[in-house]
Structure 1
Amino acid sequence: MSDSGGDKKHSASERKRRQAREKGQVAKSQDLTSATLLLAAIGALYTIGGNMAAYLSGGIEQALGETKLAPMTNQDATQYMLQISQRLAMAAVPMMILMFIGGVLINVFQSGLLLSTEKLMPKLSNISPLSGAKRILSLQGVMRLVFGMFKVGIIGGIAYLALRAHHGDVISMASLSVPQLAKSMFDTLFGVSLWIGVGLFVLALLEYVYQWWKTEQDLMMTDQEVRDEMKDTEADPQVAARRRQVARQLAMGQLGSEVPKADVVASNPTELAIAIKYDPLTMPAPIVVAKGAGMIAQRIRRLALENGIPVVERKELAQALYKLVDVGQEVPAEQYQAVAEILRYVYQMQGKKVPQATAA
């Protein structure tokens, strides 16, 4: 059976993932953020709750301990309210900082550092009653409602079990003094809240795993999408430039080991450079060990000069070898005479004996 091209069976490419991320299409659970904020608040109460309570109780004690009988003016009342507000803010700031840090960390964990302006753009579909009704009555909306009711049932069960575990403490509150009653109520509420927070976090984590899986499924590509992206990528000038840069870097890395092995470099005179090596004892014909144009040609000439390899200007020969011969291939028979001439010239210039090819 021929493939229809409509089935999503290919994993998303980096390009599609990048485009989806720019649109804000990433796996994310809002409940996971809420559960983390709740746990951060509970943790703040556990660690610094005593200091916060002492700070607030000191303000209340100071306010109730004043014996000022004169009526307060508007200015006095304003100053008094500012002092109380300042004390309340100072008590709440540490908790707010911990919650802020927890919210930032959980969002970075879910989607990384992401700033998508597309999500901030107003859309009429977001305020349309018809679009809202379609979202609510859709399969995804119904599933979200069912899962929400399931979470409410689970959290209600956890709260019931947590309260049942503190059943004895609740019954004994009737015989406690006011300070003891306050401490017992705080311990009970703290324990129940902690269990609820942990339950919410686990459920939200499961929802995040589902959202990640669903996002991966939505980003998968059909055969036609893969073909279209390959065409777009080939036509993208930035991608083409990046490929040329990578190829140039690879060529530059190979030049450092191949050019020093050459006997001569034929140039044209600055645009092209062809490094040629010939060993009559092991080679039936000279071979091209490196070639290049532009920056690569400049690199070949520089390496040749650094390693004492002669650079000979032979425009026609350099052009022919650059077009016809790949690196590692033998020089074609049509160019034997021209290559032999520059090799003979180089050997005579260096005072070496011209090598003779061995008979086959």
Structure 2
Amino acid sequence: MADDQDKDSKTEPATEKKIRDSIEKGNQPFSRELPILASFAAIAIFLLFFAYDTGIRLAGFLSTFLERPEEWRLETELDAISLYQTVFIEIARAIMVVMFLLVAAGIAASVFQNMPRFVGNRVMPKFSRISLIGGWKRVFGVKGFVEFLKSLGKVLFAVVFLYFVMHDVDVRLLQGMVTHPLSFGHVIRDLAVELVVTVTIAMVLIAAADLLWSRYHWLEELRMTKQEVKDEVKQAEGDPILKSRMRSLARDRARQRMMAAVPRATLVVANPTHYAVALRYVRAENAAPVVVAKGQDLIALKIREIAEEHNVPVFEDVALARSIFKQVSVDSMIPSHFYEAVAELVRIIHGSRNGAKTGKSHS
């Protein structure tokens, strides 16, 4: 009853932090049907592309081994070992491909669902896992009953699917038995391929449904109460590492915004390398010049570099650059006691521009 009430109170979807913590603990959604599907797909590939040649090779070896036993010497212990090694190698060659395909398919199915990671807690021994009472609850509890119903439904679905596809298999077997033995081998192979492919197609549908269900069920299990969400937000805001990272991101954004504003500046005052202040003055926009960017050392050099690239005048005034840098923040107008010094620089800019225009008109 308490569990039901607890589930009812979990109305909020899991946060990114809870999902990340769950994954780090090894609690990830996993469909058991996908590896089974991969195994059937591997067997189908083997039957389609490798089984015939493998069967012919193995049949040739067995015919020699069984029909002409006099060709194999068994006089000494070394002869027996040699015969054993020969038989073992032939059988290993026959099953090596299918074993490789099965292993590769299993690994691929696991990696497709979740990237592999080592989680120590998952491999640590826990006595609760070998508890008879706990095992009884897992097998005969509600969850075990649901798993039983799912397995029963999968079996019934596969049986019905196979019936509609393989209903005429007895007729085909009888027809194949009256043909040449080699032709009958092809009939058996074709039936085996159809059987495995049919089961594989059925497993595609089952695995797709189970994969979606496992993801949905996992997210439902991770749902949180409103109080848990509030506690997590408070914890995140109080985390010094997170705060430091947020401050670093804010500084990076502010720096990028400043650098983007330098090309729109009217002038830059420098000191000459330690400080740089970019000012913008457009009479229609503000009553006084506005600091659009400022910086020290490397940032100051970057401001000067961008200004020179965009033909923004740069003036070297040690006292003025240092004073504005210390007293005025970015996106703020300069105080009145800087008006006269900055106005003089603005007049120089306008004078040089007017002189350039006059020179062009005379030319």
Provide the TM-score with structure 2 as the length reference: 0.79
In structure 1, distance between residues paired with 2:10 and 2:293:
44
**Could you tell me which of 160, 171, 182 is aligned with 1:157?**
160
Aligned to 1:321: 328
Q: Does 1:31 align with 2:38?
A: no
Task: Identify if the C-alpha distance between structure 1 residues 336 and 25 changes in structure 2 by more than 3 Å, giving closer, same or farther.
Answer: same
Alpha-carbon contact 1:266-1:318 (below 8 Å) kept? no
For residues 21-47 of structure 1, the C-alpha deviation after alignment (integer angstroms, 9 at most, x for no partner) is 222222211122112212211221111
Provide the TM-score with structure 1 as the length reference: 0.80
For residues 322-351 of structure 1, the C-alpha deviation after alignment (integer angstroms, 9 at most, x for no partner) is 3xxx52x433xxx211x2243145358779
Alpha-carbon contact 1:264-1:346 (below 8 Å) kept? no
Among all aligned residue pairs of Structure 1 and Structure 2, give the percentage whose two residues are the same amino acid. Answer: 24
Aligned to 2:345: 346
Alpha-carbon contact 2:42-2:102 (below 8 Å) kept? yes
Show the 5 A alignment for 1:74-153. Answer: 74-111=77-114, 113-117=115-119, 118-153=121-156
For residues 208-257 of structure 1, the C-alpha deviation after alignment (integer angstroms, 9 at most, x for no partner) is 11111111222333322322222333333443344344334333433333
In structure 2, distance between residues paired with 1:281 and 1:237:
44
Alpha-carbon contact 2:47-2:189 (below 8 Å) kept? no
Task: Identify if the C-alpha distance between structure 1 residues 151 and 215 changes in structure 2 by more than 3 Å, giving closer, same or farther.
Answer: same
Aligned to 1:186: 189
Task: Identify if the C-alpha distance between structure 1 residues 237 and 298 changes in structure 2 by more than 3 Å, giving closer, same or farther.
Answer: farther
Q: Does 1:41 align with 2:46?
A: no
Task: Identify if the C-alpha distance between structure 1 residues 134 and 285 changes in structure 2 by more than 3 Å, giving closer, same or farther.
Answer: same
In structure 2, distance between residues paired with 1:274 and 1:167:
91
Unaligned runs of 5+ in 2: 1-5, 353-363
In structure 1, distance between residues paired with 2:284 and 2:201:
78
Aligned to 1:265: 269
- In terms of mean alpha carbon deviation, does 63-72 or 344-353 score higher? 344-353
For residues 4-30 of structure 1, the C-alpha deviation after alignment (integer angstroms, 9 at most, x for no partner) is 997434433332222222222222111
Partner SS, residue 310 of structure 1: strand
Alpha-carbon contact 2:258-2:293 (below 8 Å) kept? yes
Aligned to 1:72: 75
In structure 1, distance between residues paired with 2:348 and 2:189:
98
In structure 2, distance between residues paired with 1:147 and 1:318:
71
Partner SS, residue 106 of structure 1: helix
Q: Does 1:283 align with 2:311?
A: no
Alpha-carbon contact 1:233-1:239 (below 8 Å) kept? yes
Alpha-carbon contact 1:275-1:289 (below 8 Å) kept? yes
For residues 109-139 of structure 1, the C-alpha deviation after alignment (integer angstroms, 9 at most, x for no partner) is 222x231413223222222222212222332
Q: What is the RMSD of the two structures over their aligned residues, measured on CA atoms?
A: 3.3
| Number of equivalent positions | 340
Q: Does 1:310 align with 2:350?
A: no
In structure 2, distance between residues paired with 1:189 and 1:41:
10
In structure 1, distance between residues paired with 2:340 and 2:214:
71
Aligned to 2:355: none
In structure 2, distance between residues paired with 1:280 and 1:174:
101
In structure 2, distance between residues paired with 1:259 and 1:279:
14
For residues 118-172 of structure 1, the C-alpha deviation after alignment (integer angstroms, 9 at most, x for no partner) is 3223222222222212222332221111111222222333344444221312344
Aligned to 1:249: 252
Partner SS, residue 11 of structure 1: coil
In structure 2, distance between residues paired with 1:183 and 1:7:
62
